[in-house]
């Protein structure tokens, strides 16, 4: 039986607005993801993993077929389609709410046709502006992430005078472009793009000042799970970064901090810890005499 999480029906009337942040579970159908590359690279294993995340309490499953780790090479369009569409079909058949993590309009269209409810575009429409037309035509939900370049070049663009102000202003430009394309702004979510053309210090500044991004008046999604800046923070005495699969506790801490700043959602690899943290925070916030975070 599925654990507590938003049912697929919650998306029928638009973007859900749960009282606590939505938990988006990551399903990487890639051979080269930085965190779990190859582990869920075939359809059956990816579907099994997605269903396990639902059991842990995921509200939404984010299915992606292209690694966006620094230096990654883009797959062919046919490869990306073959990776994600069968997985989305099976998860939707199991009554899961699914988003597709893609920068390509062809993949977005196929995923929405297969039953996805959201397009999660790490480029915010910059890599392929036709994505916005697909989303607008389908009336789908859309995540626009802050982005400056593809994976092989992105860290060359990690230069800011004030990262929070510049990310906010560049996201505002993406909102304006999406609006002109006809995307329903009531179904638009923004993502600061931690790790994408950002140094560790940039990531920490963005996490500390999330309410400034909220000044744009749109919900925020934060994806910090397992990222390299956590590995650096938790490095051994000799400077060796903490291994990817040993960063989960730090990720749960960031889920809690992001929730206390009022984000709409968190994108995570392991759902259970984040779901537990949100339950604790919800109970804490309604304790008599305690000022809640929201």
Residues catalogued as catalytic = 227, 267
| CA 232 to chain centroid | 21
Query: How many CB atoms sit inside 10 A of residue 258's CB?
Result: 22
Burial of 93: CB neighbours in 10 Å, binned 0-12, 13-18, 19+: exposed
Query: Which residues, listed in sequence order, are joined to residue 62 by a DSSP beta bridge?
Result: 26, 99
Whole-angstrom distance, CA of residue 139 vs CA of residue 63: 19
CA distance 89 to 224: 27
Residues present in the chain in total: 294
Nearest to 125 by CA among 106, 141, 112, 144: 144
Residues 135-172 as b/e (b if ≥16 CB within 10 A, e otherwise) read: bbebebbbbbbbbbbbbeebbeebebeebbeebbebbb
Please report, in angstroms and rounded to a whole number, the separation of the first and last CA atoms in the chain: 30
Question: Which strands, in side-by-side order, build the sheet including 60-64?
Answer: 188-191, 141-145, 118-121, 98-101, 60-64, 22-28, 265-268, 221-222
């Amino acid at each position: 039986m599925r654990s507590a999480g938003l049912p697929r029906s919650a998306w029928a009337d638009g973007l859900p607005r749960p009282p606590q942040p939505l938990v988006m579970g990551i399903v990487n159908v890639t051979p080269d993801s930085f965190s779990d590359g190859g582990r869920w690279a075939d359809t059956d294993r990816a579907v099994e993993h997605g269903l396990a995340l639902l059991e842990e309490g995921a509200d939404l499953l984010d299915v992606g077929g292209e690694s966006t780790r620094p230096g990654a090479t883009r797959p062919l369009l046919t490869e990306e389609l073959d990776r994600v569409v069968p997985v989305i079909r099976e998860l939707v058949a199991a009554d899961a709410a699914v988003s597709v993590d893609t920068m390509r309009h062809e993949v977005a269209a196929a995923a929405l046709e297969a039953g996805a409810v959201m397009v999660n575009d790490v480029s915010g429409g910059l890599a392929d502006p036709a994505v916005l037309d697909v989303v607008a035509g389908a009336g789908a939900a859309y995540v626009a992430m802050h982005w400056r370049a593809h994976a092989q070049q992105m860290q060359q663009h990690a230069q800011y005078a004030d990262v929070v102000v510049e990310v906010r202003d560049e996201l505002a430009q993406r909102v304006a472009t999406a609006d002109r394309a006809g995307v329903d702004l009531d179904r638009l979510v923004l993502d600061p793009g931690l790790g994408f053309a950002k140094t560790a210090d940039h990531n920490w500044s963005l996490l500390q000042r999330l309410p400034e991004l909220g000044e744009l008046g749109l919900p925020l999604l934060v994806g910090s799970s397992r990222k390299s800046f956590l590995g650096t923070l938790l490095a051994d005495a000799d400077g060796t970064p903490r291994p990817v699969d040993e960063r989960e506790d730090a990720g749960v801490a960031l889920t809690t901090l992001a929730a206390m700043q009022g984000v709409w959602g968190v994108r995570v690899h392991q759902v259970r810890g984040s779901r537990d943290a949100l339950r604790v925070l919800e109970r804490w916030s309604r304790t008599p005499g305690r000022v809640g975070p929201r």
